[in-house]
């Protein structure tokens, strides 16, 4: 029985030379098997009208009416339509495959680190993201002039390899106060709230529910019920974290303007303004407040029920048992 790791029917944006700038997959699939996988076997590359009609009919017979309806709708577009199969969980080899992997994460079909995105950053073109879609940077000045000659302005919201997630998918049950601060390839679990200063990078995200007022860097995973305070930071693999996967456990609190450079266990707290990196020297206290030992913070990675604080007089970073877990306001995270 044939099977596919992933598949997407997408609408492609190109530059004047026909090179792909982005691909929009309204209904990506993962772990496709059975009759549907048999229909999709060998379906790849740009599809014309006849191929789309034949695919829609075959999918309907195989029982996937959702993908069949999408194929039917794509018949009427003037944009190129591409079929992108992923036979296995291998690194992406094209812009189309890279965008499909990012869609799989943001559609909650796979979690961060569950799909291989090695080399993805180098595949994606750096483009101008505008109110008319992606524009090749070499073509931007002419497009801006064309708009002015028609009495309008081409709005350029960013120049980046990654677009904002909400132009491709808005997951159910979330709130995002400033959509430009969540990149495509972010995973937002049900009940996640991202406030104006919150940021979530690609291949990173939240189990949900959670309150995000700080930065979730690439590769970082935040557990259920955790709160990232205003201006706080997590070190990802693109920001000095190396190959160590930084994560935040369940029911944790990272205080305002604090930071994290180690994996954090469940029900942990880092006080406001304190940045804990792997090499931070930490005095471990017993219940009487006496120092048991002094260790590098990396020795405490992944341990639950810890409170990190800085002594007000000596400045020494201390660690003691966290007496209370974070409890999120359920009303704030019922994002229906």
Which residues are marked as active site?
Answer: 213
**DSSP per-residue letters across 253-275:** EE-TT-EE-S-B-TT-EE-TT-E
Give helix 49-62 / helix 65-74 axis angle, nearest 10°: 170
* Cα of 294 vs its chain's centroid, Å: 36
Q: Which residues make Cβ contacts (< 8 Å) with residue 266, sequence separation at least 6? A: 223, 249, 250, 251, 252, 304, 305
Q: Are 87 and 3 in contact (CB under 8 A)?
A: no
- Distance set, CA 313 to CA 309, 310, 317 (Å): 12, 9, 11
Q: Are 71 and 59 in contact (CB under 8 A)?
A: yes
Q: Are 333 and 193 in contact (CB under 8 A)?
A: yes
Q: Which residues make Cβ contacts (< 8 Å) with residue 242, sequence separation at least 6? A: none
Q: Which residues make Cβ contacts (< 8 Å) with residue 54, sequence separation at least 6? A: none
Q: Which residues make Cβ contacts (< 8 Å) with residue 140, sequence separation at least 6? A: 128, 156
Q: Are 319 and 281 in contact (CB under 8 A)?
A: no
């Amino acid at each position: 029985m044939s099977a596919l790791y992933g598949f997407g029917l997408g609408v492609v944006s190109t530059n004047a030379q026909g090179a792909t700038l982005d691909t929009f997959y309204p209904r990506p699939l993962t772990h496709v098997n059975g009759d549907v996988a048999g229909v999709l076997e060998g379906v790849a590359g740009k599809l014309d009208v006849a191929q789309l009609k034949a695919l829609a009919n075959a999918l309907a017979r195989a029982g996937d009416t959702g993908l069949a309806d999408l194929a039917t709708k794509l018949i009427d577009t003037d944009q190129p339509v591409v079929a992108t199969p992923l036979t296995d969980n291998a690194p992406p080899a094209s812009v189309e495959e890279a965008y499909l992997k990012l869609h799989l994460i943001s559609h909650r079909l796979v979690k961060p680190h569950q799909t291989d995105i090695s080399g993805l950053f180098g595949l994606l073109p750096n483009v101008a993201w505008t109110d008319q879609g992606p524009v090749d940077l070499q073509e931007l000045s002419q497009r801006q002039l064309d708009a002015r000659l028609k009495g309008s302005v081409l709005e350029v919201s960013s120049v980046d390899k990654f677009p904002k997630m909400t132009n491709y998918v808005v997951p159910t049950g979330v709130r995002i106060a400033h959509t430009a601060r969540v990149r495509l390839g972010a995973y937002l679990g049900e009940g996640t709230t991202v406030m104006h200063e919150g940021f979530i990078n690609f291949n990173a995200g939240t189990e949900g529910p959670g309150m995000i007022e700080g930065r979730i860097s690439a590769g970082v995973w935040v557990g259920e019920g955790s709160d990232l305070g205003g201006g706080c930071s997590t070190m990802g693999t693109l920001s000095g974290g190396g190959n160590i996967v930084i994560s935040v456990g369940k029911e944790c609190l990272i205080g305002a303007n604090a930071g994290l450079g180690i994996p954090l266990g469940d029900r942990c707290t880092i006080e406001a303004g304190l940045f804990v990196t792997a090499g931070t020297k930490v005095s471990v206290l017993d219940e009487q407040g006496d120092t048991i030992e002094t260790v590098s913070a990396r020795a405490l990675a992944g341990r639950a029920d810890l409170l990190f604080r800085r002594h007000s007089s000596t400045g020494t970073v201390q660690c003691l048992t966290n007496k209370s877990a974070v409890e999120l306001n359920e009303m704030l995270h019922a994002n229906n």
